[in-house]
Homo-oligomer: A and B are copies of this chain.
């Protein structure tokens, strides 16, 4: 792995653990085993490097989600697979955690991958809900766009609860609660 790649990977990791304001160029350089000059040779500065790292994390997240969405089986099962996906709850969501970073939120450029990621997740789950409704899995009255937003929110909120409690169990409890409600929403 080249130096530029190592810098991006290290930035991804540190942004996940500490967010943007909590991560300094020096931390990144030490983590990547690269010098100052090296980092500023490959990237224009902290925002540039962070943008590339955030974009990559967003791609990875979408690709992992898409794996679950594409599984065979009923819509409910595919949504459940996404929500129950093995997650290290106490590390948080590598994309969602940046939604609470003041400098990311203040920068339209850094925020854009977050917006895109959640727009994708909501749209994709909405499609599955509509598909399931047409097959009789869910009640006709379902407002798919709203339920999709709620299900994505359950996962993101579950991270908040888990990190606040310092316990992964709360994460699973919240996700199971969301799926419990969805499973009961039948004709």
A interface with B by C-beta (< 8 Å)? 17-19, 21-22, 92, 95-97, 99-103, 105, 108, 111, 114-115, 117-119, 122, 139, 141-143, 145-161, 163-166, 170, 173-178, 180-182, 184-185
Q: Are B102 and A100 in contact (CB under 8 A)?
A: no
Are A161 and B149 neighbours in the complex by a CB distance under 8 Å?
A: yes
**Within 8 Å CB of A122, what residues of B?**
161, 170
Contacts A18-B102, A115-B165, A118-B165 known; A96 to B175 CB distance under 8 Å?
no
Chain B residues within 8 Å of A118, by CB: 160-161, 164-165, 170
How close is A144's CB to chain B, nearest CB, in angstroms? 9
The answer to whether B163 and A151 touch across the interface, beta carbons within 8 angstroms, is no
A119: B residues at CB distance < 8 A? 165
Copies of this chain present in the complex amount to 2
Q: Is the CB of A102 within 8 A of B19?
A: yes
Q: Which residues of B contact A103 (CB under 8 A)?
A: 22
By the criterion CB–CB under 8 Å, are B175 and A150 in contact?
yes
Q: Which residue of B17, B22, B111, B150 contacts A154 across the interface (Cβ within 8 Å)? A: B150
8 nearest CB pairs, A to B: A153-B157, A150-B177, A157-B157, A146-B177, A156-B157, A114-B164, A149-B174, A153-B174
The smallest beta-carbon distance between A102 and chain B, in angstroms, is 4
Give the distance to chain B from A155, nearest Cβ to Cβ, in Å.
Answer: 7
User: Does A180 contact B100, Cβ atoms closer than 8 Å?
Assistant: no
Q: Which residue of B lies closest to A165 (CB)?
A: B115
Q: In whole Å, how far is A122's beta carbon from the nearest beta carbon of chain B?
A: 8
Bound Cα distance from A96 to B100, whole angstroms: 9
